[in-house]
Amino acid sequence: MSKRFISIWFRHLRTDWYARRQPGYKEIPFSLATADHGRMIITAVNIAAEREGLYIGMVVADARAIVPALQVIDDNPELSNKLLKGIAEWCIRFTPIVAIDGDDGLLMDVSGCTHLWGSERDYMIDIYRRLRQFEYDVTLAIADTIGAAWAIARFGTGSKIIERGQHKASLLLLPPSCLRLNFATSERLEKLGLRQVKNFIELPRPSLRRRFGEEMLLRLDQAVGTEEEWICPVNPIEPYHERLPCVEPIVTLTGIEIGLTRLLEALCHRLQLEQKGLRAAALKCYRLDGKIEKIEIGTNRPTTNSSHLFKLFEIKLDSIEPALGIELFTLDASKVESLSTMQENLWENSNGLNDVELAELLDRIGGKIGSNLIHRYIPDQHYWPERSFKIANSINDKPAAAWKSSKPRPIQLLSIPQPIEVTAPIPDYPPMMFRYKGQLHKIVKADGPERIEQEWWLQDGQHRDYYYVENEEGKRYWLFRSGHYDTAKSYQWFLHGFFA
């Protein structure tokens, strides 16, 4: 399938935007200007100002001599890029590949998209009509190459569709500047009498290179299609991307669910063929009013189970506001991993953490309360209890060491040990009672000490002697003394955990 491109030229982008905000500017001449060497220079004019003979680059004082009532607004150099980026993101409803072209245009790769509107003519008319509804003065052109579409949009007579294979012929009567040449090269061609592309397109290439440089040949080749040219989209396309345009705007939850189901089935089928599974995905809904509704999901392990993925999205579907209607659904798999087939055990009923049903349960819980609230902990290679574990990155992480089970450990471990007051005989005898948060606990059973040192390369604390104690109510605690017992009372006791 041959490539097809659209070039959109916004003839008065910034002035159109100001006129939308201030309707009174639509009928009067006004311009944008910026300071340059102590003078105000016009940087943009509206249609009314153009009719009066004003142009870009003109000094404001000279312009007011011609049009005394001229309204002048300080220009914002960042406005063009901001406007074009917003319009480009809106245009993704027509094609996923939309790029900003300079400070007054957009480029769109529409290969394989136009048939969804019936024909290229209907496709271009829809884009033109909707941009005109936003009150932008635009000219569009469709051609086989980016260079030809750009040239026809800016130097042709109105919006046009260049038939396949006719892009070279469409350039012949246009001026040299239609090839996106620099000003100096275009001016030299004009002075030499080469005022149309047909005057030099068949000249020997060595002569053109010698007289006008390599850029001249590059731009010419790009326009006629002998040199490939690429565009950089405002939103990079995910490798796994599915689109579903709607014949009629979708305004009901049922319609959204049907669209989501079709997208998931198509994406999962493609992933299955490539033996990959989805880990993160985003559903985008493009509304008629230009706004985009977006919801995202994530999974603990790669999956191609479309029913499970639908349930994860279903939790968040109520947050989508269709307003006047949704005209396009897109589904992007932002994170994909290889899908490995797990070996099943014949005599065991559970696969532990490798159980698919467990992973799907965690996905559903995470979708409701937030995946950041669900953690899996694995052992870390440190001695001090609060350093002996870490949060795993995923359910598939393999621990570098085994859990230490030779000694009992509390179910609830305090992240920061809490200081307590302890009464204990000497030397190294278990404590008899302790006070925690103002409450006195009399110890009836105790075991210890268990000495836990820090790593030899760490010097930020003393060794610890831990005791397992039980009070009169049967509650058990994990206490420790920091440092050696001595009469100078330089040591300190702490509560570090609670047993079940």
pLDDT digits (tens, 9 = 90+) for 54-81: 999 999 999 999 999 999 999 998 999 9
Locate 481 and state its tokens.
Answer: 């003394």
Strands, sheet with 160-161, edge to edge from the N-terminal-most edge strand: 98-101, 105-109, 5-10, 138-143, 160-161
| pLDDT confidence of residue 453 | 85
Same structural domain, 255 and 334: yes
| pLDDT confidence of residue 346 | 46
Residue 179 has pLDDT above 90, yes or no: yes
Same structural domain, 32 and 128: yes
Residue 400 has pLDDT above 80, yes or no: no
Q: The tokens 């049907």 sit on which residue?
A: 258
**Mean pLDDT (the chain, rounded):** 88
> How far are the Cα atoms of 225, 410, 427, 442, 468 from residue 499, in angstroms, in the given order?
76, 4, 26, 16, 9
| pLDDT confidence of residue 498 | 94
Q: Show the beta-strand stretches assigned E in 377-475.
A: 377-379, 389-391, 412-423, 433-436, 439-452, 464-471
- What is the CA 309 to chain-centroid distance, rounded? 20
Rounded mean pLDDT of 449-463? 80
Same structural domain, 22 and 151: yes
365 within domain boundaries: no
| pLDDT confidence of residue 237 | 80
* Beta-carbon contacts of residue 233 (< 8 Å; ≥ 6 apart): 96, 97, 98, 99
The larger pLDDT score, comparing residue 139 to residue 346, is at 139
Domain that holds residue 485: 412-498
| pLDDT confidence of residue 351 | 57
Same structural domain, 192 and 81: yes
Same structural domain, 223 and 94: yes
Residue 1 has pLDDT above 60, yes or no: no
Same structural domain, 232 and 245: no
Domain stops at, among 237, 257, 281: 237
13 within domain boundaries: yes
Domain stops at, among 305, 338, 371: 338
Bond into 449 cis (ω within 30): yes
Write a three-state SS string for the chain: CCCCEEEEEECCHHHHHHHHHCHHHHCCCEEEEEEECCEEEEEEECHHHHHCCCCCCCEHHHHHHHCCCCEEEECCCCHHHHHHHHHHHHHHHCCCCEEEECCCEEEEECCCCHHHHCCHHHHHHHHHHHHHHCCCCEEEEEECCHHHHHHHHHHCCCCEECCCCCHHHHHCCCCHHHHCCCHHHHHHHHHCCCCCHHHCCCCCHHHHHHHHCHHHHHHHHHHHCCCCCCCCCCCCCCCCEEEEEEEEEECCHHHHHHHHHHHHHHHHHHHHHCCEEEEEEEEEEEECCCCEEEEEEEEEEEECCHHHHHHHHHCCHHHCCCCCCEEEEEEEEEEEEECCCCCCCCCCCCCHHHCHHHHHHHHHHHHHHCHHHCCCEEECCCCCHHHCEEECCCCCCCCCCCCCCCCCCCCEEEEEEEEEEEECCCCCCCCCEEEECCEEEEEEEEEEEEEECCCCCCCCCCCEEEEEEEECCCCEEEEEEECCCCCCCCCEEEEEEECC
Same structural domain, 289 and 228: no
389 within domain boundaries: no
Express each pLDDT in 74-117 by its tens digit.
999 899 999 999 999 999 989 989 999 999 999 999 998 888 88
SS3 of residue 168 by DSSP: helix
| pLDDT confidence of residue 160 | 93
| pLDDT confidence of residue 333 | 92
The larger pLDDT score, comparing residue 285 to residue 453, is at 285
370 within domain boundaries: no
398 within domain boundaries: no
75 within domain boundaries: yes
Express each pLDDT in 416-447 by its tens digit.
999 999 988 776 688 899 999 989 999 999 99
Which DSSP state fits 226? S
Residue type, 316: K
Same structural domain, 306 and 207: no
Express each pLDDT in 312-330 by its tens digit.
999 999 999 998 999 999 9
Same structural domain, 188 and 95: yes
Express each pLDDT in 206-246 by its tens digit.
999 999 989 999 999 999 999 989 889 998 887 889 999 88
SS3 of residue 96 by DSSP: coil
Residue 45, domain CATH: 3.30.70.270
Same structural domain, 17 and 128: yes
Whether the pTM exceeds 0.85: the reply is: no
Residue 319, domain CATH: 3.30.1490.100
Residue type, 428: D
Domain stops at, among 237, 263, 294: 237
